[in-house]
A and B are shown apart, each in its own frame.
Chain A
Amino acid sequence: MEAGRSPNIEILSNADLLGLEGKPGDFTAKLRLRPRYIDADKCTACGLCTKYCPKHLTDSYNEGLDITRPIHIDYPQAVPATYFIDPSACMHIQHGTCKICVPVCRSRAIDFSQKPTEREISVGAVIVAPGFGRVPDEALEKYSYGKHPDVVTSLEFERLLNPSGPFQGEVRCLSDKRHPRKIAFIQCVGSRDLGCDNGYCSSVCCMYAIKEAMVAKEHDPDCEITIYYMDLRTQGKDFDAARTRAEEQFGIRFVRSRVAEVVDWGENGLKLTYSTLDGGHHFEQFDMVVLSVGLDAPADAKKIADMTGIELNSFDFASTSTFAPLETTVKGITVAGAFQGPKDIPESVTQSSAAAALASGLIKAQRNKGIVVKDYPEEVDIADEEPRIGVFVCHCGINIGGVVDVPGVDQSVEGMEGVVYHTDSLYSCSQDAQEVLKEKIREYKLNRVVIAACSPRTHEPLFQETLRDAGLNRCLIEMVNIRDQCSWVHANEPDAATEKSKDLVRMGVAKARLLKPLPEQTVPVTKSALVIGGGIAGMTAALSLAEQGFSSVIVERNAKLGGHLLDTRYTITGGNTADLLKDVTARVKKNKLVTVLTGSELVNTSGFVGNFTSVVKSGSGKKAREQTIDHGVVIVATGARPHAPEKVLGRKLPASKKIITQLELEQRLAGRAKNRAPGSVVMIQCAGSRGDDLNYCSKSCCIDAVKNALKIKEINPDSQVVILYRDLRTYGFAEEYYRKARELGVIFVPYSLADPPRLGATSRKVEVTYDDPILGEEVTIAPDLVVLSVGMVPEGTEELSQMLKIPVNADKFFLEAHVKLRPVEMPVSGVYLCGLAHSPKPLDEIIVQAQAAAAKAAMPLVKGEVAVEPIVSHVNEDACIGCSLCASLCPYQAIEMIKVDKKRKARTIVASCKACGICASHCPTFAISMGGFTNDQIQAQIDAFGAVDDAGAKE
């Protein structure tokens, strides 16, 4: 949507890449644009053509579960919002008949004379992001997919859950449309499966299965859901918490097993046969079976590789390295998203930002050339007009409409003072609804707009933009939150939620009557960054900024750059981390745009985006000195350190030299000692993590354990290595190494928290006792070494959280502004986040995140100015008596006292003002007004709040 609005992003949909030639900074791409048979400029997306089109077509957008027509649009929010004709099904294109759509279309947009066209474009950098493909059908057959209609893929189930899906969001069996009572999810279908050559883990299926199961339970609390899995890989930030919620709150059953087959069971539905860890075989009846299909490489991966020259890995995904995770084998071509390896939305979004940083570095010489600055129509002067309010009530699919009586709320504003137009819409934020909004503003000469939908915190900017497009000042909108704060939280009380919505809308309309246009203001930006933390994340971010032409200062607490990476030795793919560190440190030191302050700490930061001032203390004792640094943005990369658990698996950790951590083992294995890989080693995963000392999964420990186990086997093939684990989380391509370790004889034994392994130690030996599920009995062994995977804890995040006013989550890691939409930004504008301080993760993900943070941080630096929100305070100098109460109370030092005609007056420093309004509420003469939150506006809301009670009293 945002991309569709940007004047500097041209979207060529329905297009194929035919060839790519050139070098970094100078590529030529040859494209073929397929005809839509509809003129995009004329199409208003009214949908009349689809209604009249006589031919049926399987709806591929709805996974073939629904019927559409050859002339259609995939979904209402599609960008561009233009219909198209599928030539393979159109009767006119195929047989020269029909053409019913042509006279039906009122805007005469249908054009059968369109032919495919070719086009060449010159670009400086290329980002490849073709997404992922489908796993082959053969992988699904043993579960009766294609034979029984009630066996569906997770993608099909997702469509079933969706309000724009085949049953408008109701989950129904495809066989007889009944509501399924029992649903099973089968994990790892087409993933971790050598049968279809997909030896990797798709990383996202465990989490999406949990999500789909929870949503299905929300739809129908009585349905029973079971998830059959091998290892539950919820390794992402806060994902384990979702799993716990699914189990405890939603009553979803998790069964560790392998499913052998699913067969038709006549009237009973489906029969699912599975085996459990103890070797037992079981079967169970289900109404519906959902196959959690993996993410395959895109179908045309080989074609892309041929045309661009990039190499693919053994699974046909783009080949990249741990140290340069987004760089393909061709310079100037970067990759982002699932084509780089299966991944979820937050990581894909992070990668896309990072790819933009890499591309921006390549084309920086061309910066600001050929760009289009969006211009808006001149603002209509509404100062002398009476309020003409338009009210738009949103269904948000079933999010609001499923609870609140939206048409009723819409009708309730009829006749309210100032309201000249009102309507409801399915999705107010969709592109077509935005067009309708613009049209209605013009048609009814609206000068105030009320949107009753979701939260202004997420969607107000979108609507404000539309207002500007329609020639209105963007402050002439009031959003009423009837989703996040109404339908979602009163899901079981539709009548009360409708009443509440009506009250809130009435209050919104009351405020809207008094809305005033406010002027746009901007402040200049100091074009440099402060990077807190000199580990691999901080250094990568600083180098990426330098690559894009911006200077930065790295503040590192330790005497040496490198952070946690200083203690590591090698990666699972065989990379030498010391080499990486040496290379990156040298580049940082050599780069003229990067200043390094080691042995230094941040003392204080003040200011706001574009204009921060920080005090940094270097050295200690008498040699300590402080310096002040001006900077426009902050990148937080403070890292984490290995956890030192006191208790492991519920018991106090015995003291023994034979008990070491995974990191200590890595250092030992990288050394030269003869006995560095002893004859028997037991590794214990989640020691102190996932419910022990720490509540979360540290994401990289399973991969590290496998990495070290392989190293032991490499040095001493006869060594017996036992890994005790809960869920082995070698997600993505790391799964290959897990398989290799098993082939080499590493023994993997799962344990549960109910019966965890026990550690004993005397001065000479250590003992580990655990339950072996295959033997069905308790085993005690006395290995030469016990290695604990201890997890990671953040470093000093609480302190920094206070200083920069940025939030941390329950586990003390910094909390990003939005997990999916803004994964490397903090809620405080101008502050960005990367590395282990965000959450534990492996090295390649840290590097990508650092590049992404640099991309986001560069945005205000490139623009050179930031816009001030127009809601800042304003002092009416005539009414001000110069008491300076406001200046003394302002927490942001945003009010200065000046002399006007020898009289003391207060004045707002707009760039510092946060619009909190403390000044306005304390001013004894009511001389200060807050843009968008004036006294009369708020009082009008309060009066409107009371209005219904008066009516109620009359009853």
Chain B
Amino acid sequence: MSQEYNPKILGFLCNWCCYAAADAAGVSRFQYPPNLRTVRVMCTGRIDPLFVLKGFAAGAAGVFGGG
């Protein structure tokens, strides 16, 4: 293995909790791996199963729902 495993993860973050928490993590300067790409939604209830499947189809190594 010449290359490090560097998965790209697609995240759907609820505006009120997980997205806010991700902002708070920034304010507190918590460091975490830079593999996540986020889509803000107003609630995780907004996540249509289709979005998850589309995410995998688009090449996501994992899909994260934060709510």
Residues of A whose CB lies within 8 Å of any CB of B are 218, 455-458, 481, 483-486, 488-493, 496-497, 499-500, 503-504, 507, 827, 871, 891, 914-918, 920-921, 930, 933, 935, 938-939, 941-943, 945-947, 949-950
Contact = CB atoms under 8 A, between A and B. Distances in A.
A496 B8 CA distance: 11
A99 B24 CA distance: 50
A945 B42 contact: no
A457 B58 contact: no
B34 A950 contact: no
Contact of A918 (B19, B46, B49): B46
B42 A939 contact: no
B39 A457 contact: no
Contacts of A942: 10, 39, 51, 54-55, 58
A484 B21 CA distance: 10
Given A489-B25, A489-B31, A503-B37, A946 B59 contact: yes
B45 A917 contact: yes
16 contacts: A218-B29, A485-B25, A485-B38, A489-B30, A490-B32, A491-B31, A492-B31, A504-B38, A507-B39, A916-B45, A918-B43, A930-B42, A930-B46, A935-B48, A939-B54, A942-B55
Contact of B27 (A484, A921, A946, A950): A484
Interface string B14-25: 011001101101
A396 to B, nearest CB: 11
Given A483-B26, A938-B51, A942-B55, A490 B42 contact: no
B37 A500 contact: yes
Interface centre among B22, B32, B57 (most CB of A within 10 A): B22
A659 B6 CA distance: 62
A582 B39 CA distance: 56
Interface centre among A499, A918, A939, A946 (most CB of B within 10 A): A946
B34 A500 contact: yes
Interface string B46-67: 1111110011011110000000
Contacts of B43: 914-918
Contacts of A938: 39, 41, 46, 51
A529 B41 CA distance: 32
A139 B47 CA distance: 62
A917 B41 contact: yes
Nearest to A942: B54
B15 A457 contact: yes
Given A507-B39, A933-B46, A949-B58, A488 B19 contact: no
A454 to B, nearest CB: 8
B26 A485 contact: yes
A493 B20 CA distance: 23
B46 A456 contact: no
A828 B28 CA distance: 23
A326 to B, nearest CB: 30
Given A507-B39, A917-B43, A921-B46, 19 more contacts: A455-B23, A457-B19, A481-B23, A481-B40, A484-B25, A485-B22, A485-B23, A485-B38, A489-B30, A491-B31, A493-B34, A916-B42, A916-B45, A916-B46, A933-B41, A942-B55, A942-B58, A945-B8, A950-B59
Contact of A939 (B16, B31, B51): B51
Contacts of B15: 457
Given A504-B37, A914-B42, A939-B54, A484 B23 contact: yes
A503 B36 CA distance: 10
B20 to A, nearest CB: 6
Contacts of A488: 26-27, 29
A485 B45 CA distance: 22
A921 B10 contact: no
Nearest to B34: A496
Given A917-B46, A930-B42, A457 B37 contact: no
A485 B47 CA distance: 21
Q: Name A's interface SS.
A: helix
A871 B47 CA distance: 16
Contacts of B16: 827
Nearest to B27: A484
B59 A949 contact: yes
A391 to B, nearest CB: 17
Contacts of A943: 54, 58
Contacts of A481: 23, 38, 40
A935 B41 CA distance: 11
A891 B16 CA distance: 15
B26 A499 contact: no
Nearest to B55: A942
Contacts of B49: 921
A490 B35 CA distance: 10
Contacts of A916: 42-43, 45-46
A933 B12 CA distance: 12
B56 to A, nearest CB: 9
Nearest to B59: A949
B47 A921 contact: yes
A916 B32 CA distance: 28
Interface centre among A218, A458, A490 (most CB of B within 10 A): A490
Given A484-B27, A497-B34, A917 B39 contact: no
Nearest to A921: B48
B22 A484 contact: yes
A871 B42 contact: yes
A949 B36 CA distance: 14
A438 B23 CA distance: 27
A871 B59 CA distance: 29
B25 A945 contact: no
A946 B60 contact: yes
Contacts of B30: 489
B26 A489 contact: yes
Nearest to B54: A942
Contacts of B48: 920-921, 935
Contacts of B47: 921
Contacts of A915: 42-43
Contacts of B25: 484-485, 489
Contacts of B58: 942-943, 945-947, 949
B10 to A, nearest CB: 5
A946 B32 contact: no
Contacts of A507: 37, 39
A455 B18 CA distance: 13
Contacts of B50: 935, 939
Contacts of A503: 37
A801 to B, nearest CB: 14
B35 to A, nearest CB: 8
A942 B25 CA distance: 24
Contacts of A917: 41-43, 45-46
Nearest to A479: B40
A691 B22 CA distance: 28
B22 A945 contact: no
A827 B8 CA distance: 32
Contacts of A489: 22, 25-26, 29-32, 34
A943 B23 CA distance: 24
A935 B8 CA distance: 22
A504 B23 CA distance: 15
Contacts of B10: 942, 945
A920 to B, nearest CB: 6
A945 B46 contact: no
A485 B25 CA distance: 8
A484 B30 CA distance: 10
Nearest to B30: A489
A488 B27 CA distance: 7
Given A457-B23, A500-B37, A945 B60 contact: yes
A806 to B, nearest CB: 12
A874 to B, nearest CB: 14
Nearest to B25: A489
Nearest to B22: A485
Nearest to A935: B48
Nearest to A501: B34
A631 B25 CA distance: 36
A82 B32 CA distance: 41
